[in-house]
Amino acid sequence: MLVIGGGNAAVDVAITSLRLGAEEVTMACLECREDMPALPWEIDQAEEENVKFIPSWGPHKILKSRGKVVGMELVRCTSVFDESGRFAPVCDETVKTTVEADVIVMAVGYGTDLKFAEGVVKTNRGLIVANPETQATNVRGVFAGGSVSRGAATVIEAIADGKKAAAAMDAYLKKGRKDTGKAAGPLLRFNAEFYTKTKKLQASRIPVRQRAIDKEDAPGFGLDQIRMEADRCFNCSCVSVNASDAGVVLEALNASVKIVGTRGTRVVPVTEFFGSFPNALEEGDIVTEIQVPAPRDGARQAFVKFRLRQAIDFCPGECCFRRCYREWYL
């Protein structure tokens, strides 16, 4: 069997074919081994399961005998993209090779059928035009994301589009309601577990001989394992080396700071917290929450942090802040 393509879909086709009983599977793609679009670990798994690769070759002619497919003639691909980075493969048809195969599968990409959107939703080069921040289209109440708006990408990017669209839909449906004025609650809570040194959670795979089409290659993680891995995060994002860093943003958002210490729990306005800096925290105090009032329906907030110095230049300041004032989250 021959699979034409070098992306994740082609790898899936190749591995699936082997598990369904194909005696031998070969993958041919235009890209060289280093530039194959498939994820590195996908390629490694394919090699582990004995998929053969012949990179830098493109399809030229299907070979037949007595009305049946017997293979394909390939030509050497000398370049895949032009100087501007656009897909424009160039092949040397004087250099050819032949691959025997009784089944040939083309897995070189896919397109979206947008006939339903013609004349209604704005499109460009076969994709729906959507706001990258809200996934909203030119049609009121219609949102788009994933492959139909960004083209070929990963599942994670599609999920990210879905989350942004969901938030925008929520704001759209709530439009007209009055602001309750209630705080949105903490975004993250203080967790001292990340001070304990632990090893990174490693994904496991079942042995090659046990893999099949009807079971997962990786068993996955349990809830306790996922929680343990999440607790390893140190959140070293330089949120407050000094009051001028994120303080002005929190003041603009009318935020409050929740402090837990020897005097109990108290909540103070962020203006008071930074106004008395560096004496806002007493010995034994820990900032556990930064409370920000919910934005008005339809409002949009964003904070883009910019710094000229490299991250390593900030490390001493960050560590000093944590050593003196413990850890707190945004």
pLDDT per position as a tens digit, 260-304: 888 889 898 888 887 665 556 777 788 888 888 887 777 776 655
Contact between 239 and 329 (Cβ < 8 Å): yes
119: Cβ contacts below 8 Å, ≥ 6 apart: none
Question: In the chain, what is the straight-line distance between the N-terminal and C-terminal CA atoms, in Å?
Answer: 53
In the chain, the amino acid numbered 211 is: R
Interval 24-61: pLDDT, tens: 999 999 999 999 999 898 999 999 999 999 999 999 99
Q: What is the pLDDT of residues 301-329, one digit of tens each?
A: 665 544 443 333 333 333 333 333 333 33
Helix (H, G, I), strand (E, B) or coil at 17: helix
Q: Which residue has the higher pLDDT, 7 or 180?
A: 7
Decide: 152 and 38 in contact? Cβ < 8 Å: no
Instruction: Give residue 191's pLDDT.
Output: 61
Which pTM value belongs to this model? 0.55
Q: CB within 8 A of 46, min separation 6: which ones?
A: 11, 14, 15, 27, 38, 53
Segment 203-209 mean pLDDT: 87
Q: Give me the percent of the chain exceeding a pLDDT of 90.
A: 38
Pairing of strands 2-4, 104-106: parallel
Query: Residue 188: which pLDDT band, with cuts at 50, 70 and 90?
Result: low
CATH classification code of 2-106: 3.50.50.60
Q: What are 71-113's pLDDT values in tens digits?
A: 999 999 999 998 888 889 999 999 999 999 999 999 987 778 8
- CATH 3.50.50.60 domain residues, the chain: 2-106
State how far the Cα of 18 lies from the Cα of 26, in Å rounded to an integer: 10
Whole-number pLDDT of residue 270: 83
